Amino acid sequence: MNGPEIHVEFAPELALFVQRRPHRTLVTDGVSSLGHAVESAGVPLTEVGTLRVDGREVPVSYVPAAGDRVEVRTVERPQRVAGAPLRFLLDVHLGTLARRLRLLGVDTAYESTDIGDPALAALSAAEKRVMLSRDRGLLRRRELWAGAYVYSTRPEDQLRDVLDRFRPELRPWTRCTACNGLLKEATKEEVADQLHGGTQRSYDVFAQCRECGRAYWKGAHHEQLVAIVERALAEFAG
């Protein structure tokens, strides 16, 4: 038997999830929450800010009644995540974004192999990290600490979106882009086993990861990295 019908208006930013139909009539079962109804329409709750019914704000646990007029708003920016320092966890498909966040000094864990949604969600909860993913099913898992959908497939746009949404503190050149460990200054002698002939002769300033031991210097790609850092600092620092 069909339950109560409700009328839902989704924020324009959520059109991606509702097949470009921001105004919908949804049939509910009369017992499930409004949050369940919104997710059933295709919108992960990680992307929902406030829910309003007939003009009043309600929690996701609210059970809708027949004729309710619902507004689904997107998250406010910058989004604050209470309860732990702001840290991220990225799935296997977001390796470039992970490296760029680390380049900017943002604490970013990344799984380079597909460990599965249950394990990712459990890791997010255990380490209190915001899960970044384009996998809507993963973002619907209840055990997540917090999560956010990555809207673009382009790393440049992904980075800008994450920085705009969460406004993490930027500390460029302080983290290892390979493992997320913190960097320290290093002498040429300390990293000599990682240097080839040309590098050995041409460079004198080095850093080294405290965790994995990887050496860093201002090599051939340094100007590209500087450009990424300068763009981020110009728009999002402070």
**Which pLDDT tens digit goes with each residue over 50-90?**
999 999 999 999 999 999 999 999 999 999 999 999 999 99
| Closest to 221 in 3D by CA, of 190, 177, 189 | 177
Prediction pTM value? 0.93
| Closest to 170 in 3D by CA, of 95, 86, 90 | 86
Confidence (pLDDT) at 194: 87
Q: Could you say which residues of the chain have pLDDT below 70?
A: 1, 20, 197-201, 238
**Which pLDDT tens digit goes with each residue over 87-99?**
999 999 999 999 9
Confidence (pLDDT) at 1: 46
Angstrom distance (rounded) from CA 219 to CA 221: 6
35 Cβ contact list (under 8 Å, min separation 6): 45, 48, 51, 60, 61
Confidence (pLDDT) at 20: 66
Q: With residue 38 as reference, give the H or E element that holds it.
A: helix 34-40
